[in-house]
Amino acid sequence: MEFSVEEVAALVNGTVIGDTSQSLTGISSLAEAVPGDISFLANDKYAPYLAETKASAVLVAKEQDVKNLVQIVVKDPDFAFAKVVEAFVPTVGQPEPGIHPTAVIGDGVQLGNNVAIGPYTVITNNAKIGDNSVIYPHVYIGDECEIGSDCILFPHVTIREKSIIGNRVILHSGVVCGSDGFGYASVEGVHNKIPQVGVVIIEDDVEIGANTTIDRARFGRTFIGEGTKIDNMVQVAHNAEIGAHCIIVAQSGVAGSTHIGHHTTIAGQSGISGHLQIGDFVVVAARSGVTKNIPSNTAVMGFPAQDLKSQKAKEVAMRRLPGTVSTVKELEKRLAALEAELEALKGGEA
Mind listing the pLDDT tens digit of every residue in the chain (350 residues)? 788 999 999 999 999 999 888 899 999 999 999 999 999 999 989 999 999 999 999 999 999 989 889 999 999 999 999 999 988 887 777 888 999 999 999 999 999 999 999 999 999 999 999 999 999 999 999 999 999 999 999 999 999 999 999 999 999 999 999 999 999 999 999 999 999 999 999 999 999 999 999 999 999 999 999 999 999 999 999 999 999 999 999 999 999 999 999 999 999 999 999 999 999 999 999 999 999 999 999 999 988 888 888 878 877 888 888 888 889 998 999 999 898 888 888 776 65
CA of 52: how far to CAs of 27, 30, 45, 72, in Å?
A: 16, 8, 14, 17
- CA R_g for the chain: 29
Q: How far apart are CA 96 and CA 160, in angstroms?
A: 24
Characterize 141-165 residue by residue with b for buried, 16 or more Cβ atoms within 10 angstroms of its Cβ, and e for exposed.
bbbbbbbbbbbbbbbbbbbbbbbbb
pLDDT of residue 38: 94
Nearest to 217 by CA among 242, 200, 202, 235: 200
What is the distance between the alpha carbons of residues 331 and 276, in angstroms, rounded to a whole number?
Answer: 47
Q: How much is the pLDDT for 350? A: 58
Which residues, 6+ apart, have CB-to-CB distance to 74 below 8 Å? Answer: 12, 13, 14, 15, 59, 60, 61, 80
Query: Count of alpha carbons within 13 Å of 63, Cβ hemisphere only?
Result: 7
The residue from 238, 245, 259, 275 that is catalytic is 238
Nearest one of 170, 135, 139, 136 to 156, comparing CA atoms = 139
**Cα–chain-centroid distance for residue 201?**
18
The structure's pTM equals 0.85
* Active-site residue, 245 included: no
- Our measurement of the distance from residue 308's CA atom to the centroid of its chain's CA atoms, rounded to an integer in Å, reads 21
- The candidate with the shortest Cα–Cα distance to 102, out of 126, 83, 118, is 118
